Chains A and B, each alone.
Chain A
Amino acid sequence: MHILKKMVLASVAALLPFTASISAQADALGEILQAKVLKVAVPQDFPPFGSVGTDMQPRGYDIDAAALIAKELGVKLELVPVSSANRLPYLQTKKVDLVISSLGKNPDREKQIDFTVAYAPFYSGVFGAASVKVAAVGDLSKKTVGVTRGALEDLELSKIVPADADVRRFEDNNTTIAAFLSGQVQLIATGNVVAAAILEKNPPIRPEPKFVIKDSPCYIGLNKDEPALLAKVNGIIAKARKDGSLDAISKKWLGAPIPADLPG
């Protein structure tokens, strides 16, 4: 028994420097470049960020963003469909190199993984036709705004809206949208994803972004202590924002360019 214990301890001790050297050498970027494959966790049930097209191929903002990064790295892209519950475990167990899955940043997640700069806008805002001049919440005075009762937009907007604005609260999302599209309200307070879904249907009245109520942009997630990969992906996003290729993805899937205030 005694000897056995000693042997185990000895073998563990012998392995320790080995494992330490592995983690010190962990270089996800190097591994990706060596394998020539970038594995990315993407959603498949969250349009327009990620869904399955009629051709059974994944499509969406996140898929295009993943393709852009793989192209810049000069490697092949491998998409791994995930759900919002298992996207972090996939990353932490190294089944994927990056999570591009409309991931929002919060302190709890920041303890687990690292985030790149934002790559996609995700916010609640006020939308309306181009002819309705609204640039800030104060401009809502004497205007009608439709919102779904009890939704995040309702609760947040109610705190800041001027007293003489007419906020009309509808029972559900579809009724709110119907009120906007039939011209019963001039503006609609909703998520940019909902506005994008309306825009996609070529509506009679186009919901153009007016101002942001609450911003929670999407970031790309990667494992901690991967400074090389982080810097590389940040560089790719910065370049894509500058040369307009990220704008093109945003226009394609969200119907609007990247807002200037997206944290860079």
Chain B
Amino acid sequence: MNLALSDLTDHGGLFLNGAALTLALTAFAILAGMLLGVLGAAGRRSSLAPVRWVCGAYVELIRNTPFIVQLFFIFFGLPKLGVKLSSVEAAFLALSINLGGYATEIIRAGLDAIGKGSWEAGFSLGLSRWQTFRLVILVPALQKVWPALTSQFIIILLGSSVVSQIAVEDLTYVGSYIQSRNFRAFETTLVVAGLYLCLAIGAQQLFKRIGRRLFAYAEMAR
């Protein structure tokens, strides 16, 4: 096999720019998606029925439609309703909303796994329902589902490649762009795949560390 990787050396900067945008999009989408997920999960357990319905509908809508359709809806569809987002904004919004839907279900499972006793402990200390949720329940609930959340984050990182479809200049876009210029499809794909692999493994390690720090209390209690 004849690899012409040297044809790609001119494009090193492009690859790095693409990888940086992929990382940045993923990072912001994870922050926003987690916020949505926590709110959604709390909402699914709300005592108010309409709140439960809205959060349930959100989860079903996101988990039962393809990501690319959600993305196209936001990018091509919303302008019809007068909301025009740039491609990067649309990508960020779509990724956040998508992760939010999955995170809602994952975190809800974590909340369900926390026994009634923890709630009662909070109440007996004079904490309100919201305070108990925030201070007593949430972190142990997240700990229980942290591996599931981590793999969802990685899915978002890799799934963000879809946003190249709306001309967001992420890593996949850069790869397709370079291929369209030098016709080195295999070499370019190889480099793109390698970069995604590095990003994903790096992210995995990072989430492991974050988990260890976030749930340090549990290690001490052991």
CB distance from A151 to the nearest CB of B (A): 9
Q: B residues engaging A (CB < 8 A)? A: 72, 75-77, 79-80, 84, 87, 164-167, 173, 176-177, 179-181
CB distance from A221 to the nearest CB of B (A): 32
Q: A residues engaging B (CB < 8 A)? A: 146, 149-150, 154-155, 168-171, 175, 178-179, 182-184
Question: Which B residues are CB-close (under 8 A) to A170?
Answer: 165-167
Q: Are B79 and A171 interface neighbours, CB within 8 A? A: no
26 contacts between A and B (CB under 8 A): A146-B167, A149-B177, A149-B180, A150-B176, A150-B181, A155-B181, A168-B87, A168-B167, A169-B167, A169-B173, A169-B177, A170-B165, A170-B166, A171-B164, A175-B165, A175-B166, A178-B76, A179-B76, A179-B167, A182-B77, A182-B79, A182-B80, A183-B79, A183-B84, A184-B84, A184-B166
Question: Which A residues are CB-close (under 8 A) to B180?
Answer: 149-150, 154, 169
Query: Which of A171, A183, A184 lies in contact with B87, CB distance below 8 A?
Result: A184
Q: Are A171 and B165 interface neighbours, CB within 8 A? A: yes
CB distance from B149 to the nearest CB of A (A): 31
Q: Are B165 and A184 interface neighbours, CB within 8 A? A: no
| Chain A minimum-CB-distance residue to B85 | A184
Q: Are B76 and A182 interface neighbours, CB within 8 A? A: yes
| Chain B minimum-CB-distance residue to A150 | B180
Question: Which A residues are CB-close (under 8 A) to B165?
Answer: 170-171, 175
Q: Are B164 and A184 interface neighbours, CB within 8 A? A: no
Q: Which 8 A-B pairs have the closest CB atoms?
A: A150-B180, A168-B167, A182-B76, A182-B79, A178-B76, A183-B79, A149-B180, A171-B165
Question: Which A residues are CB-close (under 8 A) to B167?
Answer: 146, 168-170, 179
Q: Are A149 and B79 interface neighbours, CB within 8 A? A: no
Question: Which B residues are CB-close (under 8 A) to A182?
Answer: 75-77, 79-80
CB distance from B136 to the nearest CB of A (A): 46
Number of cross-chain contacts by CB at 8 Å? 43
Question: Which A residues are CB-close (under 8 A) to B84?
Answer: 183-184
In the complex the two chains form, what is the Cα distance from A146 to B167 in whole Å? 9
CB distance from A180 to the nearest CB of B (A): 10
Query: In the complex, given contacts A170-B166, A178-B76, what are 15 additional A-B residue pairs having Cβ atoms less than 8 angstroms apart?
Result: A149-B180, A150-B176, A150-B180, A154-B180, A169-B173, A169-B177, A170-B167, A175-B165, A179-B76, A182-B77, A182-B80, A183-B84, A184-B75, A184-B79, A184-B166
Question: Which B residues are CB-close (under 8 A) to A149?
Answer: 176-177, 180
In the complex the two chains form, what is the Cα distance from A58 to B81 in whole Å? 41
CB distance from B166 to the nearest CB of A (A): 7
Question: Which B residues are CB-close (under 8 A) to A178?
Answer: 72, 76
| Chain A minimum-CB-distance residue to B72 | A178
Question: Which B residues are CB-close (under 8 A) to A155?
Answer: 181
In the complex the two chains form, what is the Cα distance from A170 to B87 in whole Å? 11
Question: Which B residues are CB-close (under 8 A) to A154?
Answer: 180
Question: Which B residues are CB-close (under 8 A) to A184?
Answer: 75-76, 79, 84, 87, 166
CB distance from A112 to the nearest CB of B (A): 30
Question: Which B residues are CB-close (under 8 A) to A183?
Answer: 79, 84
In the complex the two chains form, what is the Cα distance from A154 to B180 in whole Å? 9
| Chain B minimum-CB-distance residue to A147 | B167
In the complex the two chains form, what is the Cα distance from A179 to B177 in whole Å? 18
| Chain B minimum-CB-distance residue to A183 | B79
| Chain A minimum-CB-distance residue to B176 | A149
Query: Which of B76, B77, B176, B181 lies in contact with A171, CB distance below 8 A?
Result: B176
